[in-house]
Amino acid sequence: MERFLKALLVVCAFLLAWVLLTLVLTAQLTYSGAPWTSGLLVSVEQMLPWFIASPLLIYVSYRFPILYDRWWLHTALHSVLCLLIMVGIGRTREFILEEWPTLIPPESRVPQAAPASSAAHPEPIAIPGSSISSASLQNNEAPIKSDHWLEKTGVIRYASQSSPLGIPLYVTILFIFSLTRYRDEIKKRDQEALKLESQLVQTQLNLLRSQLQPHFLFNTLNTISTLIHTSPDNADAMVIQLSKLLRRTLDQRNDSMIPLQQEVETLKIYLEIQGMRFGDRMQVDYLIEDDTKKVDVPPMIVLPLVENAVRYGVEKSSKATTITIRSHLEGKQLHLDVIDDGPGINPENQSGTGVGLGNTQSRLETLYPGKSASVTLIEQEDHGVIAHIELPLP
């Protein structure tokens, strides 16, 4: 429907342009003293052939613009085509006026160029700098005749009849649709560049996500292998939860954004797996505000930070550790926090947090170029770490 309306708009604009040109020519003739009816008839007689030929002119002008490297070849092509069209239109007009002489009254017609035959007997004139006159040449036994094929076929006569209106019209159409072609080419190149950029971004994101999935999968499988010998029931339950987690990540593999609620559900499955491992040593609190649950976020954007909290908070602590996952809106920014009250950042192991943190930062830079998206680690004064993500709202 949208394409149909666009095409209809183009057709209406095309017709309106020709109507306006006809009215302008009519006004010009009326201003010169001709009756408006005669001016209108003459304007229609002048414009109608060009209106009929205009689809061809538009196609050729768009197909062979004069704004590229081969402009000289296209210019030659348009020169020949313009001449052919003017000759054709001139011959058509002459034929119509001969076959239907009452269609346009003689007094309303545009003066026609004299045919070549009328120039065979000109008035006698003296040739400057010579004692020979044109009359003496006419009485010569071997008169000079114009046998050039352009004169014989009437090409010059028909072209001269159509050129006052035809050349400006052709040149105008040529430049308009050459510029239209140029604009469309620029738009096409921009779209291709955006498409390539989007594909590059998606490739980068897939690479980053592929780095994350083996990371948490490796850690989880290590946990399962440990529990198989010490707690087979927990190992079996952990395998079931792991299959849920893998299913969820597979379902989201083609999604660039998901609601925060889905991300939280993924975190719950992961933390349930870790809860089977650590038991009472790990507690989890969810402080997810309702107005943030439907906000779109990148898949697995919080999971690496939760992994860090488990690895460097729960594992390194000999006492019970609480992990708090919190979200809230502030202005046009979504704030996500992963808080643990573990031992905090060990300067010797700061580089160990780099897989999750660095991956998350790279994904944010790719997804939100030039925008205020960031991830930071904040060490609390008493103990524990806050991993803070800030995302712009869509």
- Coil, strand or helix at 376: strand
Q: Which range scores top for mean pLDDT: 14-28, 62-76, 273-287?
A: 273-287
What mean pLDDT comes out for the span 82-106? 71
* Residue 178: closest CA among 168, 166, 170: 170
Q: Cα-flanking dihedrals φ and ψ of residue 345, to 5°?
A: -85, 125
State the architecture of 231-392 in CATH terms.
2-Layer Sandwich (3.30)
Query: Sign of dihedral through CA atoms 393, 204, 273, 219?
Result: negative
* Residue 67: closest CA among 180, 182, 171: 182
* Residue 353: closest CA among 383, 387, 324, 325: 387
Determine contact, residues 302/331, Cβ cutoff 8 Å.
Answer: no
Which helix (DSSP H) or strand (DSSP E) does residue 19 occupy?
helix 2-31
Instruction: Give the tens place of pLDDT for each residue, 165-223.
Output: 778 888 888 888 888 888 888 988 888 888 877 777 667 666 656 655 566 677 778 87
What are the structure tokens assigned to 306, written together? 């939760």
What is the reported pLDDT for 246? Answer: 81
Strand duo 282-288 + 321-330: pairing? parallel
CATH 3.30.565.10 domain span(s) along the chain: 231-392
Q: How many residues can be counted in the chain?
A: 394
Question: At residue 329, does pLDDT exceed 90?
Answer: yes
Which residue pairs from 147-155 have beta carbons closer than 8 angstroms and sit at least 24 positions apart in sequence?
151/116, 152/116, 154/87, 154/90, 154/91, 154/115, 154/116, 155/83, 155/87
Q: How far apart are CA 83 and CA 80, in angstroms?
A: 5
Instruction: Give the tens place of pLDDT for each residue, 37-52.
Output: 777 877 777 777 788 8
The dihedral region occupied by 243, where left means phi > 0, alpha psi between -120 and 50, and beta the remainder, is alpha
What is the reported pLDDT for 250? Answer: 78
Beta strand spans in the chain (E): 258-259, 282-288, 296-297, 321-330, 333-340, 374-379, 385-392
* Residue 249: closest CA among 283, 285, 206: 206
Question: At residue 104, does pLDDT exceed 70?
Answer: no
What mean pLDDT comes out for the span 364-390? 86
- Burial call 342-381: b when 16+ CB within 10 Å, e when fewer: bbbbeeeeeeebebbbebbbbbbebbeeeeebebeeeeee
What are the structure tokens assigned to 291, written together? 């107005």
What are the structure tokens assigned to 142, written together? 């071997």
What is the reported pLDDT for 106? Answer: 57
Determine contact, residues 349/379, Cβ cutoff 8 Å.
Answer: no
What mean pLDDT comes out for the span 13-28? 81
What mean pLDDT comes out for the span 311-332? 91
For the entire predicted model, the pTM comes to 0.53
Q: How confident is the model at residue 142 (pLDDT cuts 50, 70, 90)?
A: very low
What are the structure tokens assigned to 239, written together? 């395998």
| Residues whose CB falls within 8 Å of the CB of residue 306, separated by 6 or more in sequence, listed in order | 267, 270, 271, 323, 325, 338
What mean pLDDT comes out for the span 117-132? 41
DSSP 337: E
- Coil, strand or helix at 388: strand
What is the reported pLDDT for 117? Answer: 44
